[in-house]
Amino acid sequence: MPVKEMSRKPSPQAEELRELLAREWRKPAKSGEPVILQRTGDATHSTHLIVVWAKWDSLTQEERSEIIMDAYQETHSPEQVLNVTVAMGLTPDEAEKMKIAYK
């Protein structure tokens, strides 16, 4: 019998959002959601990712963050992944409240 590492399977919703987000990173749409805001600090070289998306609504901040990291890791090099220090998912309402310009 093979011995394998045990891991939790992501929910179908998380899986779907990860796929959509990864697709967006590979081939960004001209309009609509998700809106990916990416900032790389000049001095720190760290990358901050903010994804504005109405589909986040029912998910916790940690779940959103995990999906963003999974999609980013799927579409970027390990070096780029290591530079990410913020992964924040916001609904449009939350982004408005935080005065984040995303439109």
Chosen residue from 28, 44, 54, 93 binding other proteins by CB under 8 A: 44
Determine, following the binding rule CB under 8 A, whether residue 75 of this chain makes contact with other proteins.
Answer: no
Site string for other proteins, 78-97 (x = CB under 8 A): x--xx-xxxxx---------
d(CA 49, CA 80) in angstroms, rounded, equals: 12
Taking every pair of C-alpha atoms in the chain, what is the biggest distance, in angstroms? 55
Distances from the Cα of 92 to the Cαs of 60, 67, 99, 100, in angstroms?
A: 15, 17, 10, 9
When binding is defined by CB under 8 A, the residue of 20, 33, 65, 96 that contacts other proteins is 65
Interacting residues toward other proteins by CB under 8 A? 41, 43-46, 61-62, 65-66, 68-69, 73, 78, 81-82, 84-88
